[in-house]
Chains A and B, each alone.
Chain A
Amino acid sequence: MITIPYLTALSTYFSYGLLFAFGQFRDFFRKIFDWWQASNLQGYAPICLGLEDFYIRRLYLRIQDCFGRPIASAPDAWFDVVERYSNDNNKTLKRTEKISRCLNLGSYNYLGFAAADEYCTPRVIDSLNRFSASTCSTRVDGGTTTLHKELEDCVANFVGKPAAVVFGMGYVTNSAILPVIIGKGGLIISDSLNHNSIVNGARGSGATIRVFQHNTPSHLEKVLREQIAEGQPRTHRPWKKIIVVVEGIYSMEGELCKLPEIVTVCKKYKAYVYLDEAHSIGAVGKTGRGVCELLGVDTADVDIMMGTFTKSFGSCGGYIAGSKELIQYLKYTCPAHLYATSISPPAAQQIISSIKVILGEDGSSRGAQKLARIRENSNFFRSELQKMGFEVLGDNDSPVMPIMLYNPAKIPAFSRECLKQNIAVVTVAFPATPLLLARARICISASHTKEDLLKALEVISQVGDLVGIKYFPAEPKKQLQHQEQQPGKDTIKLE
């Protein structure tokens, strides 16, 4: 868990308090101003209301230039960020023709398949010409091409499950599958930091939702025992089924899921495991097969494996892998399969090709190199950041590493300063994280070279000093401790 220094917590609260008070003050005058003008609502209730609207207008708009920066190239290791300007105090941003070439530390391009690839791109263009960009039809109607069949077999094989079904969007995969496999009378036990798509899917299912402390198997066990003993609320009937939903790598924390322990607990209490490998599939594991491979969990113990193709494979869409019956059932009744346009054929081809590269089926060792590269890059970068005294979250081997910023003012400061020096980083704040825990998130890619990383470290260190986010003392001792703590990592490196 993140332990926020007392003084920092205080100053962060103070900053938000100030922003809030000032925002309210401005709203007060706006209200007076509006009062003089005739209302243009004409009997309708205002379309945007409450704190959400307030947050956007008074807090988000001030720093909106740090988010949604448009790019004008593929999101590779280096990319072209389009410069923007604002004439109205950041309320609206206008694009310019100017671009700046920046080092990309923000995209989920873990394996570097985002850019044109010597193996994938020609095949993708071939499929485009053969199957066109879209089928304009759902999978059950006319949207299943040979490519889709091949993709499903390929994914099932890659993930290590008997069958798989693919969808055109990762978000929809989660939010449309959960309602199919569980409904009223079921229980979903979800990690407290699960992605919004899981939250929405769970809500849409009508099942009861309970949350366990982030990545804490002991608390999961406690919740499971309580819930099984209690049964359904009010009626106390036994639960129909219990599904435990966890993610492979938590994208905002960079932490790896404690899958072995969680699987053991779930097995003991006969709960089904739903693993969302959005960030981990392709990125971790010896052959890129995700956290199961990395942590040595038999895929047979995970009932439903979900993942997306957006990240490591540089494409779009998502999959569900599981038993043959599960997939048959999903194909029969899942709305995303029945009602949504099937995944675009070129995107499907990109996935097939990239999996082939990862598995070395293209006849080269590029896949293995990429995998080794991302692990090395991640671990190097993480340890260097820690040495400098940044508060870095997450586990080793995870390509996602959040740097804690805390204070709201440090969010735009860090982002803008880095961009000035041609480093593009992602900053994340409320509502994606808790209010106090604003952070910058760095995603390492296999396409980053050593020089890129060194440059990035130099800049981040400099900006870190400027902004004041080196919350820990930078001491060489720390590095020693870390190496002692992680003997396993070193042996892997030696291999």
Chain B
Amino acid sequence: MSPTLSPLQSFNPCNYLAEDLKKNKPRIVMSNNRDDDTLTRVDNSFGRLPDHLLIEIFIRVPVLEWAQIACVKKHWASLFLGESLWHAAIMRTFPSASQAKRWPGPIPRGLSKRRFAALYVSKHIVALDDEIDEIVGHTYLFLKEQLELSTLPPPSGILHGTIIDQFISCGKSRDVAHELASQIWLAVLDNLEENWHTFLVLKRLALEEDVFLPFPYSRSIKVQWRVFEKLFIDFRDCFSHADYYDILGIAKNKFQPIPSACQIILLDVTTSLITIDVQEICTFPVSASVALRVAMESAALNFVNATLNWVTLALDAPAARAVVFGVHISGHLFVEVLLLVVILFLLSQKSYKPPKRPLTKKEIDELCDEWVPESLIPPITEEMQSEPPVLESAAGPHAIVNGKEVVNFASANYLGLIGHEKLLDSCTSALEKYGVGSCGPRQFYGTIDVHLDCEARIANFLGTTDSILYSYGLSTMFSAIPCFCKKGDIIVVDEGVHWGIQNGLYLSRSTIVYFKHNDMESLEKTLEKITAKNQRAKKLRRYIVVEAVYQNSGQIAPLDKIIKLKEKYRFRVLLDESNSIGVLGHTGRGLTEYCRVPIEKIDIVTASLGHALATEGGFCTGSARVVDHQRLSSSGYVFSASLPPYLASAAITAIDVLEQNPDLTSKLKENIAILWKGLSDVQGLSVASNPESPIVFLQLKKSTGSTKGDLQLLEDLANRALEEESVFVVVSKRSTLDKCPLPVGIRMFVSAAHSESDLLKACLSLKKVAAVVLKDHIRP
């Protein structure tokens, strides 16, 4: 507000004007009226008047004349642009208008001119008799501007919402706000200019689907109706046919049932349109029928309404005044009770079940007669008939097959303990003392003192507290795993594990996740995935199962990395040391020694005694708890006869021999290196095993494409090596139950008892045989 307004407030404007006229003294109030000076010179009498007097005069002129006054002089026009005139006008015309500067709500208040306009509007257009409410006027102006001026007005829902917000923030009650909003809408709609823009705006409003508005904002039907009314009456010539029927359809949807008063108008409109259409009826046959349908539908609606009214009346009539316990019994209560009765009746009925007709005895007899079982075994093929070579001597480094001495690479006699005198002696004395078998399970007098000694010896050798003997190598793993892993537990396992482990996993019914063979990245990913995916996984028992030296590939598991992962993700480790006990590490204590990992870090270690220790059976070791738990829970231990005592005593002696002759392992290491080197350039074959593994695994460089084909080829190679070269090597055969995905190959078990010449001979022979057998395979 400009500072000049302050005197106006303090004086009565009329007196002030009179005084001024008397003095007749020009008084310059504003600084920027140089034009004014020139004008005063032109018009002596009226032009000399100072601006504030002119304003006082102008505002007394009826509003309708103001436009004309503004045209008379540039100076006067500038007065109409200024703030003070309008302010004075407000003061005069609407003395009760509020002077408050605060104006809450989203709609702007604007300068005095706009305020004047707003006040004017609320008085004359909205016609509020009791009070002059500025907000209404402002809102009116705002809405009109939005609809008129902008090319694309915001959706009506938003506008409406804004208006109601405005009222509510100005302290109106919700109901009043709604009432006012719809009044304003109606006023604006009525005062819109009849031009193309308005038509477009109205059409847009009409076409607008009901924009979802939250609870306080609902538009009155009156406003919506006015939009359609205006469109159909004032703008009907602007419609194209398509638009017309669109809008009509929307109208029908919106106003159901159509109030009768409006209906007449609607019908009026349609009939008038029909008359227009008649000329074009050939081109638009649809329009007429649509119009007729509208008429018929409204008639039908009337009928339905009338019927409903009658039904309500009929139901209400008999009990119109009945009151039971303060509840008015009316028609809908009857219907509800009726429904309840029906529901109860339906609930009390038995659900429909198709009648059960068990098979009659005769039918079962027929089914049993008809049933033809498969044969117990599939037909025998030629490959199934092959017989393994029969040894006529002990399976030492040199064995006799078919009366011929051969170099034996088929026995996992890693330390050359087969035929060792000390072992034979201990076996003989045990046989004499204890007989052959133990004649009972461990629990029922099958525990012989040598078993306990053997368990203690093994534990002592490996540095654990206790161990448990199983009577067979294969059963060790498949009994130990189900003993610790139950349904719901998680086992992460290398895909290349041997069948004994696979079977144990299957019997445990745990969740089994495989990782890529000997691939630590894959293991880590798997562990990460399991731990991240499953929050519950933390509460389950989790295991990693690996073999120290994989029987199916000759790879050595990187135990140090596994331990790191295990500790990171809190998994327990089950390690099968069948092919590493007595082999790896300097003193033959297995993979833990080889990788310099304390054995306590491995939770469960299993191993077969039938390899390096040259006896039979298996053992499992770990903490005392792990071992004790198996004594009553491991089925292969509890339900099987114990290990023949002479084999247990052989195991004790074998460990003694191993401890007394540390050169055995170093000799074995040398032998492995010699064979590995010698076989590294065999034609068509590659060494797939770890250079320190006692299992030297030769794989075809190029697979034939099928396991069966590979097997055939390798089998041929092995047979020739045996027959022609007297080198006994074997192919890793696969049972149909074995799910190991690794390729087959020739598996050579190196022994410390092999002499250097044996090894060199083997290399030479294999090269020779491979050159012949794989000749055809390599060339294409």
Q: Is the CB of A136 within 8 A of B472?
A: no
Instruction: Mark interface residues in B248-292 (1 if CB within 8 Å of A CB, else 0).
Output: 000000000000000000000000000000000000000000000
CB proximity of A243 to chain B, nearest CB, Å = 8
Interface residue from A46, A115, A149, A229 paired with B367 (Cβ < 8 Å): A229
Bound-state Cα–Cα, A303 to B411, Å: 34
Interface centre among A120, A139, A168, A303 (most CB of B within 10 A): A168
Interface residue from B390, B396, B471, B646 paired with A146 (Cβ < 8 Å): B390
- A486 at the binding interface (Cβ < 8 Å): no
Q: Is the CB of B427 within 8 A of A169?
A: no
CB proximity of B665 to chain A, nearest CB, Å = 16
Instruction: Mark interface residues in B477-497 (1 if CB within 8 Å of A CB, else 0).
Output: 010000010100000000000
Instruction: Mark interface residues in A160-173 (1 if CB within 8 Å of B CB, else 0).
Output: 00000000111110
Q: Is the CB of A129 within 8 A of B424?
A: yes
Bound-state Cα–Cα, A231 to B452, Å: 50
- B437 at the binding interface (Cβ < 8 Å): yes
Q: Is the CB of B616 within 8 A of A341?
A: yes
Interface residues on chain A, number (Cβ under 8 Å): 123
- A383 at the binding interface (Cβ < 8 Å): no
* Complex interface residues of chain A between 316 and 340 (CB less than 8 A to chain B): 316, 325-326, 328-329, 331-336, 338-340
Q: Which residues of B contact A124 (CB under 8 A)?
A: 431, 436
Q: Is the CB of A145 within 8 A of B439?
A: no
Bound-state Cα–Cα, A46 to B572, Å: 11
Interface residue from A134, A228, A269 paired with B615 (Cβ < 8 Å): A134
Q: Is the CB of B730 within 8 A of A141?
A: yes
Interface residue from B440, B650, B737 paired with A180 (Cβ < 8 Å): B737
Interface residue from B418, B540, B542 paired with A132 (Cβ < 8 Å): B418
Q: Is the CB of B603 within 8 A of A142?
A: no
- B633 at the binding interface (Cβ < 8 Å): yes
Bound-state Cα–Cα, A197 to B638, Å: 10
Interface residue from A75, A203, A325, A345 paired with B377 (Cβ < 8 Å): A325
Q: Which residues of B contact A107 (CB under 8 A)?
A: 439-440, 444-446
Interface residue from A56, A136, A172 paired with B395 (Cβ < 8 Å): A136
- B644 at the binding interface (Cβ < 8 Å): yes
Bound-state Cα–Cα, A403 to B451, Å: 29
Q: Is the CB of A144 within 8 A of B389?
A: yes
Q: Is the CB of B614 within 8 A of A136?
A: yes
Interface residue from B432, B436, B650 paired with A315 (Cβ < 8 Å): B436
Q: Is the CB of B436 within 8 A of A314?
A: yes
Q: Is the CB of B474 within 8 A of A339?
A: yes
- A204 at the binding interface (Cβ < 8 Å): yes
Q: Which residues of A contact B413 (CB under 8 A)?
A: 136-137
* Complex interface residues of chain A between 108 and 157 (CB less than 8 A to chain B): 108-109, 113-117, 120-121, 124-125, 128-137, 139-146, 148-149
- B94 at the binding interface (Cβ < 8 Å): no
- B735 at the binding interface (Cβ < 8 Å): yes
- A16 at the binding interface (Cβ < 8 Å): no
Interface centre among A130, A308, A310 (most CB of B within 10 A): A310
Q: Which residues of B contact A304 (CB under 8 A)?
A: 376
Q: Is the CB of B440 within 8 A of A133?
A: no
Q: Is the CB of B636 within 8 A of A344?
A: no
Bound-state Cα–Cα, A272 to B376, Å: 8
Q: Is the CB of B437 within 8 A of A136?
A: no
Interface centre among B394, B437, B551 (most CB of A within 10 A): B437
Bound-state Cα–Cα, A136 to B616, Å: 8
Bound-state Cα–Cα, A200 to B638, Å: 13
Interface residue from B364, B449, B626 paired with A71 (Cβ < 8 Å): B449
Which of B50-58, B124-132, B186-194, B380-388 is near enough to bind chain A? B380-388
- B336 at the binding interface (Cβ < 8 Å): no
Q: Is the CB of A204 within 8 A of B427?
A: no
Bound-state Cα–Cα, A270 to B438, Å: 39
- A346 at the binding interface (Cβ < 8 Å): yes
Instruction: Mark interface residues in A25-60 (1 if CB within 8 Å of B CB, else 0).
Output: 000000000000000001111111100110010001
Bound-state Cα–Cα, A102 to B164, Å: 105
If A52-B633, A74-B433, A116-B432 touch, does A133 touch B384 (CB 8 Å cutoff)?
A: no
* Complex interface residues of chain B between 648 and 697 (CB less than 8 A to chain A): 650
Q: Which residues of B contact A104 (CB under 8 A)?
A: 445
Q: Is the CB of A146 within 8 A of B392?
A: yes
Instruction: Mark interface residues in A196-210 (1 if CB within 8 Å of B CB, else 0).
Output: 110010011000000
Interface residue from B391, B428, B640 paired with A135 (Cβ < 8 Å): B391
- B635 at the binding interface (Cβ < 8 Å): yes
Q: Is the CB of A339 within 8 A of B499?
A: yes
* Complex interface residues of chain B between 53 and 95 (CB less than 8 A to chain A): none
CB proximity of A418 to chain B, nearest CB, Å = 13
Q: Which residues of B contact A311 (CB under 8 A)?
A: 439, 641
Q: Is the CB of A168 within 8 A of B428?
A: no
User: What is the chain B residue whose CB lies nearest that of A238?
Assistant: B371
Q: Which residues of A contact B410 (CB under 8 A)?
A: 137, 141-142
Which of A62-70, A256-264, A475-483 is near enough to bind chain B? A62-70
- B768 at the binding interface (Cβ < 8 Å): no
Interface residues on chain B, number (Cβ under 8 Å): 114
Q: Is the CB of B445 within 8 A of A424?
A: yes
Which of B134-142, B195-203, B500-508, B593-601 is near enough to bind chain A? B500-508
CB proximity of A437 to chain B, nearest CB, Å = 17
Interface centre among B395, B424, B603, B736 (most CB of A within 10 A): B395
- A355 at the binding interface (Cβ < 8 Å): no
* Complex interface residues of chain B between 411 and 464 (CB less than 8 A to chain A): 411-413, 418-419, 423-424, 427-428, 431-440, 442-449, 451-452
CB proximity of B51 to chain A, nearest CB, Å = 89
Interface centre among B375, B377, B432 (most CB of A within 10 A): B377
Interface centre among A170, A228, A313, A316 (most CB of B within 10 A): A316
Interface residue from B372, B391, B632 paired with A270 (Cβ < 8 Å): B372
* Complex interface residues of chain A between 59 and 88 (CB less than 8 A to chain B): 60, 67-76, 79, 81-82
Interface centre among B423, B635, B640, B749 (most CB of A within 10 A): B640
Q: Is the CB of A239 within 8 A of B371?
A: yes
Instruction: Mark interface residues in A343-385 (1 if CB within 8 Å of B CB, else 0).
Output: 0111100100000000000000000000000000000000000
* Complex interface residues of chain A between 232 and 248 (CB less than 8 A to chain B): 238-242
CB proximity of A231 to chain B, nearest CB, Å = 9
Bound-state Cα–Cα, A56 to B603, Å: 21
- A219 at the binding interface (Cβ < 8 Å): no
Interface centre among A48, A132, A228 (most CB of B within 10 A): A132
Q: Which residues of A contact B167 (CB under 8 A)?
A: none
Q: Is the CB of B448 within 8 A of A72?
A: yes
Bound-state Cα–Cα, A136 to B410, Å: 9
Q: Is the CB of A113 within 8 A of B435?
A: yes
Q: Which residues of B contact A325 (CB under 8 A)?
A: 377, 380
- B610 at the binding interface (Cβ < 8 Å): yes
Interface residue from B392, B503, B647, B735 paired with A204 (Cβ < 8 Å): B503
Instruction: Mark interface residues in B614-648 (1 if CB within 8 Å of A CB, else 0).
Output: 11100000000110010111011011110110110
CB proximity of A248 to chain B, nearest CB, Å = 16
Q: Is the CB of A329 within 8 A of B449?
A: no
- A181 at the binding interface (Cβ < 8 Å): yes
Q: Which residues of A contact B632 (CB under 8 A)?
A: 56, 60
Q: Is the CB of B629 within 8 A of A137?
A: no
CB proximity of A416 to chain B, nearest CB, Å = 15
Bound-state Cα–Cα, A132 to B646, Å: 12
User: What is the chain A residue whose CB lies nearest that of B631?
Assistant: A68
Interface residue from A332, A346, A424 paired with B384 (Cβ < 8 Å): A332
Instruction: Supply 20 further A-B pairs (C-beta < 8 A) apart from A44-B541, A133-B616.
Output: A69-B445, A82-B449, A107-B444, A108-B440, A124-B436, A132-B423, A142-B395, A145-B393, A176-B503, A179-B503, A241-B373, A270-B373, A271-B373, A310-B641, A311-B439, A314-B437, A316-B437, A325-B377, A338-B499, A339-B498
Name 14 interchain pairs, CB-CB below 8 A, sorted by A.
A43-B538, A130-B393, A133-B614, A133-B646, A169-B472, A180-B737, A195-B639, A314-B437, A315-B436, A331-B384, A339-B498, A340-B472, A344-B644, A350-B437
For the complex of A and B, the 7 pairs showing the least CB-CB separation, nearest first, are A142-B410, A341-B610, A169-B472, A310-B641, A171-B640, A340-B474, A332-B384
